[in-house]
Amino acid sequence: MLSSERQEYLDAFLRPHDCTADDLVRQVDDSFGAPKAIVAAGSVLQGFGNSSSDLDLHVVVDDGRVTDFPVGSYDLGIAVDVNYVGQSWITEAAVSLAGVFQPPCDRAEWKARYRRLNQVGRFALGQVLTGEPAWRDWCASLADGYPRAALDWWRAETIRYRTAAQLLQATNPPLAAQRFCEAGIACLNGIAAAGGEPYVGQKWTGPKLARIGRPDLVEVFSDLLAVPYEPGQVSDYLKRTRAIVDDLSAGWSLPVDPVVVLSPAAGVQTWKVRDRHLVHRWGLRGIEVSTAEPAMWISEQLNWRGPVSELPPLAERLVADGLVWLAIEEAA
């Protein structure tokens, strides 16, 4: 999207409130030091906002203590979220996205990667309201590489959710259906990113597909969202959505046997009870593990890595009961 288009969206949003970009800049103070750059971003700048949307301002400051500190403002009659970010953190985040993509192998790094993708995207796809020349150039330099980073992310998420769905089909069909839904949505977002809509906000999946001229995929999106609640309808949904995911990702050459990494899900603990181990999640559900099982499951806290086709039986049980977090180590 051209800068002039983003400016038009911003002006159209501000006009009914008798506000200007200069008014927005005045909402930013110097509590964390003088701003290096102030960027308007979010759904409004992408053309997806409405009259009740809030407006995001992202402010670069020279303060290492700040990574993403939000301050709300309603002085202008609209909701303005001012987010302060340290210059070292945001520049390092951009560098990490520019390198060769390595899918996150644990949940904490997965969340960190998504956070970096989301935050850098605000500067890559936003509108600079004011800033030092070097920071204006930096924001402009992000535009070329960011869509590839977004596509890499959605491609890896497609593989991750598709793999989880395939592992769950036999043991937990309803959850497998939800995972196939998520795989399809990730794939659609990847198609949108490749088509010129790299904005990562999932709630705008439909509008992004419409804007790249794919009303047929908007219908596919609606079909994916119709995850059944009745057990008798799950089987048909699984067949249909698996075919959808395979069709949508046909041009991506997804791995047939991806390398996966399993690690304990949030809240998972292991208790030893006589000659057994109880692997449970928050004490609400779990499975018993015999001491005859490989010691790695206990000593290494349930971690496992390898091709999904070589998944041990115990690992399959842990997956079925939602006791591990699944990552994809090799997305290619």
Contact predicate 64/87, CB 8 Å: no
Q: Taking the CB of residue 155, how many other CB atoms lie within 10 A of it?
A: 25
Average pLDDT, the chain: 89
Residue 13 and residue 124 share a domain: yes
Name the least confident of 117-131, 162-176, 286-300.
286-300
Asked whether residue 137 is domain-assigned, the answer is no
Residue 202 vs residue 135, higher pLDDT: 135
Residue 44 and residue 161 share a domain: no
Q: In angstroms, what is the C-alpha Rg of the chain?
A: 23
Residue 13 and residue 100 share a domain: yes
Phi-psi region of 322 (alpha: psi -120 to 50; beta: other; left: phi over 0): left
- pLDDT at residue 169 tops 80: yes
Residues constituting the chain: 332
Name the least confident of 41-50, 64-73, 247-256.
64-73
Please choose, from the candidates 48, 55, 47, the residue with its C-alpha nearest in 3D space to the C-alpha of residue 17.
55
pLDDT of residue 23: 93
Residue 248 and residue 221 share a domain: yes
How many domains in the chain? Answer: 3
Asked whether residue 317 is domain-assigned, the answer is yes
DSSP per-residue string spanning 90-136: HHHHHHHHHS------SHHHHHHHHHHHHHHHHHHSSEEEEE-HHHH
- pLDDT at residue 215 tops 80: yes
Tens of pLDDT, residues 21-49: 999 999 998 888 999 999 999 999 998 88
Residue 117 and residue 184 share a domain: no
- pLDDT at residue 7 tops 70: yes
Buried b / exposed e over 227-254, threshold 16 CB at 10 Å, is eeeeeeebeebbeebbebbeebbeebeb
End-to-end Cα, the chain, rounded Å: 29
Q: What percent of the chain has pLDDT over 90?
A: 61
> Where among 252, 269, 301 does a domain terminate?
252
pLDDT of residue 1: 66
Please give the residue range of the domain that contains residue 76: 3-131
> Where among 131, 164, 197 does a domain terminate?
131
Region 263-287: what's the mean pLDDT?
85
> Where among 82, 101, 131 does a domain terminate?
131
- Which amino acid appears at position 157 of this protein? E
Tens of pLDDT, residues 86-123: 999 999 999 999 988 888 888 899 999 999 999 999 99
Residue 216 and residue 105 share a domain: no
Place of tokens 């047939």: 256
Contact predicate 25/38, CB 8 Å: yes
- pLDDT at residue 299 tops 50: no
Tens of pLDDT, residues 194-214: 999 999 877 899 999 999 999
- pLDDT at residue 301 tops 60: no
pLDDT of residue 162: 96
- Which amino acid appears at position 187 of this protein? C
pLDDT of residue 277: 81
pLDDT of residue 294: 52
Region 187-192: what's the mean pLDDT?
97
Asked whether residue 117 is domain-assigned, the answer is yes
Residue 20 and residue 122 share a domain: yes
Residue 126 and residue 173 share a domain: no
Residue 114 and residue 21 share a domain: yes
Rounded-to-integer distance, Cα 232 and Cα 317, Å: 24
Whether the CA torsion 46, 49, 51, 52 is positive or negative: it is: negative
Region 256-283: what's the mean pLDDT?
86
Contact predicate 224/244, CB 8 Å: yes
- pLDDT at residue 140 tops 60: yes
Rounded-to-integer distance, Cα 249 and Cα 105, Å: 22
